[in-house]
Amino acid sequence: MSHTQESQNTLDGILNAISKCKVQHNQLLKEQQDLSRARDDQEDLAKQFRQRIVKLRISLEEDDNNQARDVDSERKKIAALHDEESRLKREIQRAEEELQLEEESTHHLKQQTNVSTAAVPEKKVVFTGVTGDGANTLNFDVKPHIVFPMEEGTALITFEDEEVAQKILSLREHKVDLGEDCAITLEAKLVQLLVPCQVEMDTEVCSRRILVSNLPKKVREDLLLDKLEIHFAKSKNGGGEVEDSDMLHDSGNVVITFTENNIAKGLTDKQYHNVEFEKGRKHSVKVTPFLNGDITSFQTRLSACGRTVLLTGIPAVKEQENLQDLLEIHFQKTSNGGGEVDTFLYNPLGQHTLALFEEDCPTEDQSQ
């Protein structure tokens, strides 16, 4: 009995021990789970810190880069300011030099303008009874002479009436009957020329030349030049050694060139000089300064010829004079859209012709 009791006691002890071990095991499992959760939390926290460290490092690098860029930008700005300062100093220096040149030029122009307003070539004028609009008056009247190279197989026809020319242009193609069952088709084109619209010149009084005007009309040119050279070569007449003399045929005046620079001014200051062209007879001539000119600005524009039409595509089917007459007759007929022809110029195949265009001056019944 005691042995059974002892065994029972031993079994209960073992069960108790097992229960205690289970409790301890459960506690250990719980502690292990708690430790595992704590470990995971620590790892998450460490991961967050590592990510934060990476972000902070990137942010610091960006800040460093931005700071470096800002410093570089400021340095560039400072360098640009230094360059701008240097440029402005150069501009100031250049402006001062230009100002000095302008002052010298102004002084030179003032000297040029000291030439008497009366110092212009002598020219006979007369009122013809024609009046004009003062609002359109220009300081200089330029009359262009434009050379127009004609292509082969073309013709230029100028009508008296601009409306006729415009009608011919509007019809464009024209069939011209040349007789003997022969006809040709021509094309009418607008004539456009490049004409000057504004010319600017710098003028300067020449120190070695004079312009002599109011010359006698009945003296031969060679004798006239000889007499002028002889007169103005004498020191008693205020002259000096003459290098050359030239007749300006468009104005009838003479240009005399001296070898020295100090002769011309004294002669132009006196203006009027009595020159002996015939023995015992003297003629009063006017001496004015000779102006040298340089073109500083030349502007052009396209100008359409209102009364002139270009005819193209003309074959060499007849003799030049015969074909020109037939073409002119065709365009004179109102039934062909034509009218009165002012001029007609034909350039056949194989030839080269230069047409000269001049200003179409308006009349009372016709505007330019």
**Does a structural domain hold residue 17?**
yes
| pLDDT for 117 | 47
Tell me how many domains the chain contains.
3
Question: Cα(199)–Cα(204) distance, rounded to whole angstroms?
Answer: 16
Kindly state whether residues 215 and 291 are assigned to the same domain: yes
Helix (H) or strand (E) holding 134: none
Amino acid at 91: E
Kindly state whether residues 31 and 103 are assigned to the same domain: yes
**Does a structural domain hold residue 242?**
yes
**Does a structural domain hold residue 130?**
no
Q: Which residues span the domain enclosing 204?
A: 200-296
| pLDDT for 300 | 86
**Long-range contacts from 234-243, C-beta under 8 angstroms, 24+ separation:** 237/273, 238/263, 238/266, 238/267, 238/270, 238/273, 239/263, 239/267, 243/208
Kindly state whether residues 5 and 72 are assigned to the same domain: yes
Residues 6+ positions from 150 with CB-CB distance below 8 Å: 156, 345, 347, 352, 353, 354, 355
Kindly state whether residues 312 and 284 are assigned to the same domain: no
| pLDDT for 367 | 37
- Pair 212, 322: CB distance under 8 Å: no
Beta pairing class for 341-347 and 154-159:
antiparallel
| pLDDT for 51 | 92
Report phi then psi at 353, rounded to 5.
Answer: -130, 140
Q: What is the pTM of this model?
A: 0.48
Kindly state whether residues 275 and 192 are assigned to the same domain: no
**Does a structural domain hold residue 136?**
no
Kindly state whether residues 73 and 7 are assigned to the same domain: yes
Kindly state whether residues 167 and 24 are assigned to the same domain: no
**Which one, of 99, 103, 111, lies nearest residue 204 by Cα?**
111
pLDDT in tens, the chain (368 residues): 555 556 666 888 888 889 889 999 999 989 889 888 888 889 899 999 999 999 999 999 999 899 999 999 999 999 999 999 999 999 999 999 999 999 888 876 766 665 544 455 655 554 455 555 554 444 555 667 788 899 999 999 999 999 999 999 999 999 998 888 888 999 999 999 888 888 888 888 888 999 999 999 888 999 999 999 999 999 999 999 999 999 998 888 999 999 998 899 999 999 999 999 888 888 999 999 998 888 888 888 888 888 999 999 999 888 889 999 999 999 999 999 999 999 999 999 988 999 988 877 654 444 33
